[in-house]
Structure 1
Amino acid sequence: MTRQIAVRLPDELVEFVDRLVERGRAASRAAVIARALDRERRREVAARDAAILAESVGAETGPDADLDALAEFAARTSLDDLD
């Protein structure tokens, strides 16, 4: 399902979006905006995951401490909880 929304953007951003469409880098303005918002959503999730990982590492040290904590976190996390 999709929903139409109206947003106001500075002229230079609209021109950038239009150039991407003109050059065939995107099918439409909506595709450019959707891709940018999806990228931002993934960035937010990654930042949240990094913060959780930083908290879970605690006093552990060594070259593999971060990866061990990430593996433990991933094993405990339900895929249903991911946005």
Structure 2
Amino acid sequence: MTQLVTHVDDELVQQVDRLVENGAVTSRSDAVRRGLRALVDRERRRSVDVAIVEGYRRRPQAEDEAGWSDETARSMIAEEPW
């Protein structure tokens, strides 16, 4: 496992320490790991979102391609025993 060394301001350290005290994280290191995972996941999701949008810009969905999903949704709702 690789160790990362960084500097953070005192206010951020105090906030992280409060998270540790409150049990939100087990340690400062746990907080850093969770934060980095969240950042990496957010950027991965953003990248996927951009790719999806770009795909629809290059080839917009035609009306006949969307119609089946609307009809299927209506059928499924009609089948529910409300």
Give the TM-score, by structure 1 length: 0.67
Identity of aligned residues (%): 31
Do the aligned partners of residues 61 and 18 (structure 1) sit closer, same or farther apart at CA in structure 2, a change above 3 Å counting? farther
Provide structure 1 residue ranges, at least 5 long, that are not aligned to the other structure: 69-83
1:7 counterpart = 2:13? no
Name the aligned partner's letter for residue 61 of structure 2: E
Provide structure 2 residue ranges, at least 5 long, that are not aligned to the other structure: 70-82
Give the structure 2 partner of residue 73 of structure 1. none
Task: Provide the aligned length of Structure 1 versus Structure 2.
Answer: 64
Name the aligned partner's letter for residue 9 of structure 1: V
Cα distance in 2 for residues equivalent to 1:55 and 1:13: 37
Give the TM-score, by structure 2 length: 0.68
Larger helix proportion of the pair: 2
Using CA pairs below 8 Å that are at least 6 residues apart, which structure has the higher relative contact order?
1
Matches within 5 A, 1:1-83: 2-58=1-57, 59-60=60-61
Name the aligned partner's letter for residue 19 of structure 2: L
The structure having more radius of gyration, on CA atoms, is 2
Q: Which runs of 4+ in 1 moved over 6 A?
A: none
Deviation at 1:50, TM superposition (A): 0.5
Name the aligned partner's letter for residue 48 of structure 2: D
